[in-house]
Structure 1
Amino acid sequence: MNKFKIEFKWAIYYTFLGIMWFQLEKYLGFHDTNIANHPVFTNLVFILIFGIYILFLLDKKKNFFKGIMTWQQGLLSGVILAIFAMILTPFALYYSLKYVNPDFFTNMINYSVSKGMKLENAQAMFDITAYMIFATFGTLSFGIIFAALAALLVKTKNK
């Protein structure tokens, strides 16, 4: 487990970022008064998530690989981070939906229906099970993409 200590640490940071972002969305009204702009604003978190991958790989390169890291090593490390983050995602989502904004789904359903979506479709889309599945696999898939891109930037350059 010591081999993956850095990945786990950054998965915790990633998880807290997700919770804090959800709180920020609620605070700024993207869960109610500014709900129309929620899809755009919520996707801005990907910039910060990519930053997490960059900072993680810099940490891994310096403190595990002793300053020399190949793209493959960075990619593999990033995939492990993505797996740890994926495992923690349902817990963060549950916490956010239970304690930060228990009205999130109700607000999203009501807004979607007001914009012409069928109630059944909105309820299916904004359901805790569907949201957890989407968030969990989204965390893994985007994590792999971000790991590959971040590894390109952080790898040791050949001279």
Structure 2
Amino acid sequence: MKNIKIEIKWAILFVVMMLTWVAFEKSMGWHDEKLADHASLTILVAIPAVAIYFFALIDKRRNYYNGVMSYYQGFMAGLVITLIVAALSPITQYTTSIFITPDYFHNIIEYTVATGEMTREDAESYFNLQSYILMSAAGALIMGIATSAVVAVIVKSKSKRSTITSQ
């Protein structure tokens, strides 16, 4: 457990950030009166999401690997964060849907039906807690793996030995 303590810390910070982001979206009206803006603006959550992975891998490199971390080690640390976030995603989605924005499903169903994007039946089968729990877990895995792969390239370091010999 000690070897993934850093990943647990950053996964929890990631979940807190996501819940804060959803509360921010709700406060901006993106879940009700400005619902039309939601799809294009919610992508901005990628900025703090990537930043958390970046700082998490720097933390892991600095405080676990003594400043030297390979791509593989960085990717694996990111993968552990991803697995924890994905495992917590049902709780996160439940908290979001029940406590932070309980009218979101009703609002998005009404919006997609009114705009002709979906039939009521299709909207109701897509926009519900069970569906969103599955999508949030899958999304956490897909985006977390991709983010881990990219951030590990940026954060990896050369070994101290190769740094000394190259000078």
Aligned residue for 1:43? Answer: 43
1:18-73 deviation per Cα after TM superposition (whole angstroms, max 9, x unaligned): 10010000000000111001011111101211111100000000000100000011
Aligned residue for 2:73? Answer: 73
Letter in 2 for 1:139: A
Aligned residue for 2:107? Answer: 107
Letter in 1 for 2:9: K
Runs (5+) with no aligned partner, structure 1? none
SS in 1 for 2:46: helix
In 2, distance between residues paired with 1:156 and 1:57?
11
Letter in 1 for 2:16: F
- Give identity over the alignment, percent: 35
Letter in 2 for 1:150: V
SS in 2 for 1:132: helix
1:56-105 deviation per Cα after TM superposition (whole angstroms, max 9, x unaligned): 00000000010000001100110011000111111111111111111010
TM-score (normalizing by structure 1):
0.97
Aligned residue for 2:150? Answer: 149
TM-score (normalizing by structure 2):
0.93
In 2, distance between residues paired with 1:45 and 1:7?
20
In 2, distance between residues paired with 1:73 and 1:32?
43
SS in 1 for 2:157: coil
Q: Does 1:54 align with 2:51?
A: no
SS in 2 for 1:44: helix
Aligned residue for 2:82? Answer: 82
Q: Does 1:26 align with 2:18?
A: no
SS in 2 for 1:144: helix
In 1, distance between residues paired with 2:127 and 2:47?
24
In 1, distance between residues paired with 2:81 and 2:153?
16
Letter in 2 for 1:115: T
In 2, distance between residues paired with 1:143 and 1:131?
17
Runs (5+) with no aligned partner, structure 2? none
Letter in 1 for 2:127: F
Aligned residue for 1:123? Answer: 124
Letter in 1 for 2:83: I
